[in-house]
Amino acid sequence: MKAVMNRRFNNYWTQTETYDALMVYIDLNFDGLKDAVVDLLGENRCRIDVGSFQNDMTSMKSRDDVLTLLVHLGYLAYDADRREVYIPNEEIREEFLRGIRNGSRKELVKAVELSDRLLDATIRMDSDTVAEIIEEAHLASTSPRYYNNEQALRSVVIMAYLSCVDHYEQFEELASGRGYVNILFLPRKTSGKPALLIELKWNKSAKGAVTQMQNKDYSQFARKLGYEQKLLLVGINYSTKTGKHTCKIKQFRE
């Protein structure tokens, strides 16, 4: 109660455990494990078969064995009805990112480094670089069968902004003003970074996405949460005709 009243509290779980154990299993890199971890960090779920797990920490033979073990260790949650695993909270998501940055899996480290570059380019309002990185992430993480899929783009953008977990609270599909906010990254009080409002478009225009956020007052939700500082409007569009991504970034207020 004192922590709540004094408004001074932080994550404790990651201070009582170590990500060394987590990285031992991720570094096994069984078939599809890298892609599964990236999907999980992007707030997606992974379907697994828990039946092959031998209930020990040494007989790892497949991706599903590793993910099942991570459920037992508390790093993943398991939806028994859908037979899917997912990262249960931001505390553990941060632990995964710390582990990846210090691990030996180059593919995962590259994904995090790409996300770091994307966040930096967004804050610098470098629209061209943001579009290039989103395009690179879209190509790398989406199969040709689902590439021209609107939902796939949304998942790609969320995964591409993995680094935001260190600095922001993430909100999706929130009613604000006269529309819905696709993605809102609201900075933590200790962050010092601007809030990001991201609107995704499909065969339209990035500039139109920014105009829509302004006209429909999409910043209203940030204000409702008490945020009145610098806010960036980020419009991202994908054209199925050209296969190209475009971006427009505009500062809404100081």
- Phi/psi at 170 (nearest 5 deg)? -105, 135
CA 131, chain centre distance (Å): 17
Residues of the chain under the 50 pLDDT cut = 14-16, 18, 143-147
Given this model, what pLDDT does residue 160 score? 78
Work out the mean pLDDT of the chain and round it to a whole number.
79
Residue found under tokens 């987590």: 22
Given this model, what pLDDT does residue 16 score? 45
Token readout for 254 is 């100081």
pLDDT tens-digit series, residues 151-170: 667 777 877 787 787 788 88
Given this model, what pLDDT does residue 237 score? 93
Domain boundaries, the chain: 11-104, 124-253
Given this model, what pLDDT does residue 194 score? 94
pLDDT tens-digit series, residues 97-123: 776 666 656 666 677 788 889 999 999
How does 214-251 read in b/e, with b if 16+ C-beta sit within 10 Å? eebebbebbeeeebeeebbbbbbbbeeeeeebbbbbbe
Q: Which fold has domain 124-253?
A: Trna Endonuclease; Chain: A, domain 1 (3.40.1350)
Q: Are 107 and 24 in contact (CB under 8 A)?
A: no
Given this model, what pLDDT does residue 199 score? 92
Given this model, what pLDDT does residue 24 score? 67
Given this model, what pLDDT does residue 52 score? 72
Q: Are 173 and 179 in contact (CB under 8 A)?
A: no
